[in-house]
Amino acid sequence: MTETGTSSGSTVSIPPSVIDSDGLDESEHAVNSKIVANRIKIALSLVEYNNILLERAPIIISILTWFIQDSAP
């Protein structure tokens, strides 16, 4: 069965092969896929940034310790 809808006065037919069981068409799935891909990229970037911070943690701690000791009365 073909679903129909109106958009600015004209009737649009969507073939059943385009409609999935979740009710989203292919363009909505494409947008959702892009959003998920961007979220994965952001998550991987954060993991990489955290790894860099962990590698440099001893240096950062020694600099902070030096500042604290230098400013102590």
Average pLDDT, the chain: 76
Structure tokens that stand for 54 in this block: 């962990």
Query: Which one, of 28, 52, 30, 48, lies nearest residue 40 by Cα?
Result: 48
Query: Over the stretch 21-37, which tens digit does the pLDDT of each residue have?
Result: 666 677 777 888 888 88
Distances (CA, A) of 57 to 3, 22, 63, 70: 58, 47, 10, 20
Q: Is residue 36 part of a domain?
A: yes
Structure tokens that stand for 29 in this block: 């799935």
* Cα 17 to Cα 54: distance, rounded to the nearest angstrom: 49
Distances (CA, A) of 19 to 11, 55, 67: 17, 49, 63
* Confidence grade of residue 12 (pLDDT, cut at 50, 70, 90): low
Structural domain including 30 reads 25-73
Considering the chain, what percentage of its residues have pLDDT values greater than 70?
A: 64
Q: Is residue 14 part of a domain?
A: no
Residue 45 clears pLDDT 60, i.e. is over it: yes
Q: Is residue 52 part of a domain?
A: yes
Please give the tally of structural domains in the chain.
Answer: 1
